[in-house]
Chain A
């Protein structure tokens, strides 16, 4: 059993005989997933090389024949650009980012994009289908986030606020289960003229079932994992939400398996409300899982004590 103790009022409280540790208070309703346990999938990373990026660039309408454009390569990514169009592929994940630098997030100082979420979602779905980014049945609308520009005098006069683009996130579905995390999404950007100005896709390909799901752990046990993770921290973490889904990492991370997970959103609040931060912990949801998801906290070397001087940089 972890060092955390289940308290009497929906909390996981520190054991009084041990040194202070994270105190977990559960403010959310914890619900176990229903139905047959979902399987764990093996993932493959799409090849990232000149041929692959030129093929994709061609599909997106860029001038991508051999020797055209500019190809840049570093340890993390491969970037192909022609004029103001830029396409990047991440080596670790195969994630793709396309940007039209002449139009992405560019303000003409006049436009004000007024678009309903449903309309923005349809635009994004149409784009995803046109370029065969993902089958419609495997995506659902997640969120539309608008980029605003605003100004005012220092006294707050002559204030204005306009929307110059909308970013629409489509969430991946696997086995009809949403894919949570920094990956598992297509984000499409539209400007005030409702033209696509860029997109990002973090979407690793499935490579068959690695393991059938045996049974689900309880969300309470995932919260206990979080308590153990923060065992050396002095904190009150109020659990505000526990989501269930597959978990996909971001563009810069290699990932071998796609497994069901609990995503725990907590809040660290001071009593006076003056010090706040959210915290996120992700735990595997299956009893026969593919290993931990949130890496253990690193033990870091302390800094040398700072000298008590009035002097700044020049005298150190």
Chain B
């Protein structure tokens, strides 16, 4: 007798569009970012000078790309702790490729980096889906293994900016309409992945898998294939980040990327992605990444003791999880009551 509205999006009778806009998951983290920038600019106007803004965008680029990739994996209720090691391998690989073949077309180097990242992501994905092992454990082990491979391959060898073509390095300097080229790449990535997750069948399936993978399997979703896709996507994006790292920074070697993984997870969590999957958006993860990288620069610009920085990041993460939890509880309550009233 009850009309089931379970599958229809909850519009809610009489709710203004403004209210539903405000309730979007990305709002808390975006407003935090806005507040941070405004406060810092008031204290130090140099923060939004053209160089300052360029620096902010450049700093955030690599973290944004990685957060988008890792966010996709987290949405499926998995995690990939090996992203730092993957970045290191691809960055060093990029340096090696340029050192071995200095005239190689830059596009080809990008493709090599993406392919290497995809391969490493696929290994993780296979282990998680075929061997049915929890991703936390697998990717923790792969973190060690990939780092060991990086150390064995690189040894004491480091490649510096001078070993790479100037045109490659200029990707991090030149701008398009005031936005650095590599940041444009990052924005394109965010848009593409966001559209993939929200508008395509395989993308939406990822949310279903994250919510309840047994139900998804019963529903007919090819869970293993989708999860593998998510890991490969994450690996590819991390590979892209690795190539851009080699463009932006000076040296690539054995220790590149060590310790990045928890920063990226933090960015995704702060951006509203639930650690259990099933909700959140990569746009939020991207904003979370921007927020965390901006805090570093903001504290320096404010001359705040840099020692407070990590503590502030910790508080931000806890706040973000709290906000996400409150939001999901209220959503659950609203869905329950809307079902009851519609029954």
Do A and B actually bind? no
Residues of A participating in the B interface, judged by any CB pair closer than 8 Å? none
Residues of B participating in the A interface, judged by any CB pair closer than 8 Å? none
